[in-house]
């Protein structure tokens, strides 16, 4: 096969977004994928409102709207099961779209742009020559295959062994989360808002039970918890979900008569964006680059925005015929410009609110007392709480408010 300017490993939302904008700018791109699309991706299935303009720019917004369930608000409950709701500004909403559908739509948008594509191709290593990435080595149809490129983009998810090979892998148990997701029918008591429940000290910091509605009675329900906290519970993620159902009032209401659809699925979520994600001839996008934020575990907007940044940086690298680590640092700089403030805000909110059950309780009380009838995002509501109740004077702009 011919040499490509860029090989993208992984055809999920990060890889496909990068491929879409690279191909649109005229770059010679090959995207390889170990699975076949459509394929499932364990996730909460939420697509926040800040990503909607990007969906429109890719021409896929109408398709997402067709399949997505609109949620115009967020609920939070504390350990005592007191709750508050943040009602978004008029006209704002998050989509809840199964990743089986959403990722396939983004993937097909990239292919429509003329990206070369190989599926059922398992990449086993990045080919390195004199310290520089020169392509990939993988298995296709039972045979070893080598493919050459000037730049390799790693977008093959949180379990990426290629990311580990390049030294990009996140290992910190306080910033590696574990998620568990299941679909349930006959879920009771939902209000067309996304729900985050903080039912016990053992979930701290930032761990919760989530509910993303898919209809009036169907929902994506899951568990989000740090590796360190999960180890401290002595339970598995699945056992935590059933503990919530059997021991908490809201849990019993939501899941007491619910019927699971299919199997529960779990996965690893590296957060914080603390590791370097660029090298000589190689960069990492999305989960492979630990780009999940450390407050709610959101990763889809970050992966897609990083894909746009990757397209820009790679186009400049190709034009300059410079694939060095020094040159590709601009990719990391672009990501930081787009997402850095949001990462810092997420970390600040995690430390100042979601590392203490008392602070979560105070947030709920403040919201019910001061924000009744006020339309704002959850992030904006939390910012008001920190400024008015905690005297915080720093930035509160969230990663989702760009």
Provide the sign of the torsion angle of the four alpha carbons 269, 272, 275, 280, taken in this order: positive
- Say if residue 90 is exposed, middle or buried (CB neighbours under 10 Å; 0-12, 13-18, 19+): exposed
DSSP string, 370-397: H-TT-B--HHHHHHHHHHHHH---S---
- From first to last of its 402 residues, the chain has per-residue pLDDT tens of 679 999 999 999 999 999 999 999 999 999 999 999 999 998 999 999 999 999 999 999 999 999 999 999 999 999 999 999 999 999 999 999 999 999 999 999 999 999 999 999 999 999 999 999 999 999 999 999 999 999 999 999 988 999 999 999 888 999 999 999 999 999 999 999 999 999 999 999 999 999 999 999 999 999 999 999 999 999 999 999 999 999 999 999 999 999 999 999 999 999 887 889 999 999 999 999 999 999 998 999 999 999 999 999 999 999 999 999 999 999 999 999 999 999 999 999 999 999 999 999 999 999 999 999 899 999 999 999 999 999 988 777 654 444
CA distance 267 to 166: 21
Cα distances from 75 to residues 91, 123, 186, 360, in angstroms, run: 18, 41, 19, 12
For the chain, the domains span: 4-61+95-171+271-349
What CATH topology corresponds to 4-61+95-171+271-349? FAD/NAD(P)-binding domain (3.50.50)
DSSP string, 306-346: HHHHHHHHHHHHHHHT---HHHHHHHHHHHHHHHHHHHHHH
CB 293 within 8 Å of CB 170: no
**For position 398, what pLDDT does the model report?**
55
* Rg of the chain over all Cα atoms, to the nearest angstrom: 21
Order of strands, edge to edge, in the sheet holding 69-71?
A: 46-47, 94-96, 69-71
Cβ atoms of residues 184 and 178 within 8 Å: no
pLDDT at 400: 41
Residue 395 pLDDT:
72
């Amino acid at each position: 096969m011919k040499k490509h300017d860029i090989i993208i490993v992984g055809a999920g939302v990060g890889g496909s977004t990068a491929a879409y904008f690279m191909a649109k700018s005229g770059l010679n791109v090959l995207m390889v994928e170990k699975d076949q699309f459509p394929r499932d991706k364990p996730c909460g299935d939420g697509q926040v409102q800040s990503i909607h303009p990007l969906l429109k720019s890719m021409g896929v917004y109408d398709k997402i709207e067709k399949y997505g369930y609109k949620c115009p608000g967020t609920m939070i409950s504390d350990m005592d099961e007191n709750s508050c709701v943040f009602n978004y500004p008029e006209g704002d909403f998050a989509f809840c779209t199964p990743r089986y559908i959403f990722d396939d739509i983004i993937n097909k948008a990239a292919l429509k742009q003329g990206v070369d594509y190989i599926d059922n191709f398992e990449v086993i290593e990045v080919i390195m020559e004199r310290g520089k990435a020169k392509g990939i080595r993988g298995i296709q149809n039972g045979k070893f295959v080598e493919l050459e490129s000037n730049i390799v983009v790693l977008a093959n998810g949180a379990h990426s062994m290629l990311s580990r090979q390049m030294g990009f892998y996140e290992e910190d148990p306080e910033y590696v989360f574990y998620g568990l997701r299941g679909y349930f029918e006959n879920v009771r008591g939902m209000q067309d808002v996304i729900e985050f429940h903080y039912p016990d000290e053992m979930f701290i910091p930032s761990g919760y039970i989530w509910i993303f509605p898919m209809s009036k009675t169907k929902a994506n329900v899951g568990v989000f918890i740090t590796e360190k906290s999960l180890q401290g519970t002595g339970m598995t993620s699945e056992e935590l979900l059933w503990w919530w159902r059997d021991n908490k009032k809201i849990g019993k209401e939501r899941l007491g008569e619910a019927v699971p659809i299919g199997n529960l699925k779990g996965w690893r979520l590296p957060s914080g964006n603390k590791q370097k994600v660029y090298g000589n001839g190689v960069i990492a996008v999305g989960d492979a680059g630990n780009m999940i934020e450390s407050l709610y575990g959101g990763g889809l907007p970050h992966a897609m925005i990083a894909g746009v940044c990757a397209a820009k940086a790679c186009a400049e690298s190709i034009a300059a015929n410079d694939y060095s680590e020094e040159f590709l640092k601009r990719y990391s700089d672009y990501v930081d410009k787009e997402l850095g403030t949001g990462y810092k805000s997420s970390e600040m909110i995690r430390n100042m609110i979601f590392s203490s059950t008392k602070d979560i309780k105070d947030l709920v009380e403040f919201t019910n007392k001061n924000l009744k009838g006020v339309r704002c995002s959850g992030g904006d509501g939390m910012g008001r709480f920190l400024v008015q109740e905690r005297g915080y004077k720093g930035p509160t702009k969230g990663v989702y408010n760009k």
